[in-house]
Amino acid sequence: MPPQGGAPWRTTVLGVLHPVGPLPAAVYWRRRLLVLALLLAVLGGGGWLVVAALTGSDGGTATSAAAATTDAADPSDEPPALEQVVPSLASVPTPTPAPGPAAEPEPAPASPTPGGPCGDDAIGLEVRAPGSAPVGGKPTFELVVTNTSSVPCVRVLDAGLQEVLLLDAAGNRVWGSNDCFPETSSDTRTLAPGESVVFPLTWGGLTSEPSCAAERTTPAPGQYVLRGRLDTKTSADTAITLG
């Protein structure tokens, strides 16, 4: 029941605004301010709880969606590119194989002793002939011996050691210079470096066999080769056409 008259009400208000007690007034003011602050904190916390309760579900969904979007957009969460996981082959050092042993050069033919024998490695041998000859004709061939070494050397050039063969395209023997008319001579010469000796030989145009036992005939037209020999030295083949 409200107090009657104005004096008591004013006394109550004055008592609140001007507390009276055995302690100093500042102590009572601090107590009242502390109570007021606690009251405001309680009221503010309650309001926040209400707002959170009303918006909690939507906010959680939005927060999850935002977090998912952030996670998807964050490039740090993406799988690393293949070139970042597997290093480029260009950056991987490739071991250099150890060099193998160098191929040994072929030994050069031993030069003859100056004034000593001319071995097969110290002489060149070839057959010179016209490129073609008529069938049944009598062409002249030349057996050429050359000292290819750098010193003078001695070579036996006996006629019995010289021979020229005619072979057909299949490699069959057609004629030999020593078959029917073998010659003998004693011919030992000292050949200077680069010196050549030429031995001419005329072919009768007929086939032959060793010892001249078979009938001699005219070879058929076609491609043939001539091959020379000086003892154990053999020349390369020289082509000739009979037609």
Give the closest residue to 175 by CA, choosing from 144, 123, 114, 129: 129
- Would you state the pLDDT for residue 37? 75
Whether residue 30 is contained in a domain is answered as yes
Whether residue 158 is contained in a domain is answered as yes
pLDDT in tens, 100-138: 667 776 665 567 899 999 999 999 999 999 999 999 999
Helix (H) or strand (E) holding 144: strand 140-147
Whether residue 56 is contained in a domain is answered as yes
How buried is residue 153: exposed, middle or buried, by Cβ count under 10 Å (0-12/13-18/19+)? buried
Which pTM was predicted? 0.56
Mean pLDDT of 56-81: 48
Q: For the domain that residue 185 is a member of, what is the CATH number? A: 2.60.40.2360
Give the closest residue to 118 by CA, choosing from 28, 186, 31, 191: 191
Whether residue 223 is contained in a domain is answered as yes
Same domain, 124 and 46: no
- When mean pLDDT is compared over 21-25, 37-41, 86-90, 163-167, the highest value belongs to 163-167
How buried is residue 216: exposed, middle or buried, by Cβ count under 10 Å (0-12/13-18/19+)? middle
pLDDT in tens, 6-27: 444 444 444 555 555 666 767 6
- Would you state the pLDDT for residue 88? 56
Pairing, β 238-242 against β 132-133:
parallel
Same domain, 64 and 142: no
Same domain, 154 and 54: no
Give the CB-side neighbour count of residue 64, counting CA atoms within 13 A: 5
Whether residue 108 is contained in a domain is answered as no
Whether residue 215 is contained in a domain is answered as yes
Whether residue 194 is contained in a domain is answered as yes
Q: Which domain holds residue 138?
A: 120-242
Same domain, 136 and 236: yes
pLDDT in tens, 182-212: 999 999 999 999 999 999 999 999 999 999 9
Q: Which amino acid is at 242?
A: L
- The count of structural domains within the chain is 2
